[in-house]
């Protein structure tokens, strides 16, 4: 899995080439729910902070299936997870229009 992680980091940085992004890895974020004692917590695999203040969230989706073979429920799950992370950042004062979300599907194959 180590090689995959390095490849993902290269891909994230390549997508942001020329922007001199600041890359944060394995970031836990939280927000307070209204009228609740506990916080909600989310995890961001990679967060690119660009010089103009915009943010790119990159989360990994590890699966034994190709992304094209995913059931619609699985696709919706990741869509909601990314929207949830965006909402947590917005709740912490980041302008939601400055946040882009990206899913990086990673297919793994296990030897039997």
What is the Cα–Cα distance from 10 to 103, expressed in whole angstroms?
15
Place of tokens 């927000």: 31
Q: Is the dihedral of CA 4, 5, 10, 13 positive or negative?
A: positive
What does the block give as tokens for 69? 């073979």
pLDDT at 52: 84
The predicted model scores a pTM of 0.77
pLDDT at 43: 94
Tens-digit pLDDT profile for residues 3-27? 466 677 777 766 666 666 688 889 9
Alpha-carbon distance values, 7 to 41, 47, 50, 96 (Å) = 27, 16, 21, 28
């Amino acid at each position: 899995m180590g090689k995959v992680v390095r490849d993902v980091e290269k891909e994230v940085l390549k997508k942001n080439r020329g922007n001199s992004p600041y890359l944060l890895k394995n970031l836990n974020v939280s927000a307070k729910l209204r009228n609740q004692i506990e916080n909600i917590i989310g995890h961001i695999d990679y967060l690119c902070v660009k010089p103009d203040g915009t943010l790119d969230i990159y989360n990994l989706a590890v699966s034994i299936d190709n992304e094209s073979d995913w059931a619609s429920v699985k696709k919706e799950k990741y869509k909601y997870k990314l929207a949830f992370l965006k909402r947590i950042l917005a709740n912490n004062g980041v302008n939601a229009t400055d946040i882009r979300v990206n899913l990086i599907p990673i297919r793994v194959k296990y030897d039997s």
